[in-house]
Amino acid sequence: MIGHAEHSVTLMGSMPPRPYILVVNGRKVRQPVFVIGAPHSGADLLGRALKRSPGFHVTIGQDAVQSVVYAFARSPSIQRGRSDAAATVLRDAFAQAWQVTDHCCLTCSPACREAGGVNGPSCCITERDIARYGDASPDLMYCADVLVDAFSDAKLIQIIRDGRDVVAGMLSDPQDLSWFKPGIANVESEFPNPFYGVETDEDQAAWPALSAAGKSAMRWRGSVRAMARLRSGLSAEQLTTVRYESLVKHPAPTTSALAEFVGAEIAQVEIRHARPRRQQQPGPEPGAWRKLLSPAQVGEIEMVAGPDLVRVGYGT
């Protein structure tokens, strides 16, 4: 069942985040783990590993959460100056998404069911086995500030990947490309626009002339800048950053370090290889962009995000 959230009231500014009490499935939510990153950065890999980890009830793309994430991500103005209200809305969304019901996982998102290996009316976890909660929903990173407001003791894992591989992934994903369609991209009406990485007047002016590769690069650039701001504002006990390349090339030590950060065992990360019918999609290996992007696309990516690629260690 869903419990309720209680808040202590402070009357002075610059105070620590307000404590909360949230009870879901008869368990107090303590130190929930959230995995965030740009599209195609590997958050799904880590989310699936956490979902298979003992005691973790991790959701991915549940409607209750995803609808709030996209509302806040695409219209950040609705939450400006309303941090308490935004935190309450997001916390309530997770309280709903984390419920284990009589219908088990039948109403869960396909991505969440697949990650849990669920077929038919079975459940991915039972109430008595739940010790920790978490989420790795797509585009959750655009609500990172609200996550911290909603869960003051949250553990955030942000994952970063070479922006060129990210762009190659986005160009192969119809859903990501759909955000760029006329009438969908709201870079004129919502400014600045973290979801699209449009931060300045120059970005806004350049946007219409960019190809899908350039727009994807701007989204990646915006995400790594947001990650840097988030990292500067949180302690090492609350947020850690992992590279996708380390997760793929050195899964055991990387997972071990993440387990120490989380304070719980994490299952081995499983790298899923592209199916034969999807050979044009980026594979899991770092550097796949060299085979998938044209010289013109690489040039535009470097024009948009070159300094940021260098800054985060992907300049070659």
CATH code where residue 256 lies = 3.40.50
Answer yes or no: do 196 and 174 share one domain: yes
C-alpha 307/C-alpha 316 separation (Å) is 12
Q: For residues 55 and 132, is the Cβ–Cβ distance under 8 A?
A: yes
Q: Is residue 296 part of a domain?
A: yes
Q: For residues 160 and 312, is the Cβ–Cβ distance under 8 A?
A: yes
Answer yes or no: do 39 and 72 share one domain: yes
Q: Is residue 52 part of a domain?
A: yes
Answer yes or no: do 85 and 42 share one domain: yes
Mean pLDDT, the chain cut into blocks of 10 residues (316 residues total): 34 49 91 96 94 95 95 88 90 94 81 83 86 96 93 97 97 95 93 95 97 98 96 95 94 95 93 47 77 97 97 89
Answer yes or no: do 157 and 299 share one domain: no
Answer yes or no: do 127 and 56 share one domain: yes
Q: Is residue 20 part of a domain?
A: no
Q: Which residue has the tokens 């499983």?
A: 270
Q: For residues 73 and 157, is the Cβ–Cβ distance under 8 A?
A: no
Answer yes or no: do 193 and 92 share one domain: no
* pLDDT at res. 281: 47
* pLDDT at res. 122: 76
Answer yes or no: do 156 and 298 share one domain: no
Q: What residue numbers bound the domain in which 284 lies? A: 163-222+279-316
Answer yes or no: do 37 and 107 share one domain: yes
Answer yes or no: do 182 and 316 share one domain: yes
Q: What is the C-alpha end-to-end distance of the chain, expressed in Å? A: 52
* pLDDT at res. 34: 98
Name the β-bridge partners of 116.
none
Q: Is residue 11 part of a domain?
A: no
* pLDDT at res. 17: 53
Answer yes or no: do 52 and 181 share one domain: no
Answer yes or no: do 67 and 213 share one domain: no
Q: Is residue 16 part of a domain?
A: no
Answer yes or no: do 196 and 242 share one domain: no
Residues 6+ apart with CB under 8 A from 205: none
Number of domain units in the chain: 2
Q: Is the pTM of this model over 0.85?
A: yes
* pLDDT at res. 148: 93
Q: Is residue 10 part of a domain?
A: no
Cis? peptide before 192, omega within 30° of 0: yes
Going 225 to 226 to 227 to 231, the CA torsion angle's sign is positive
Q: Is residue 23 part of a domain?
A: no
Q: Is residue 207 part of a domain?
A: yes
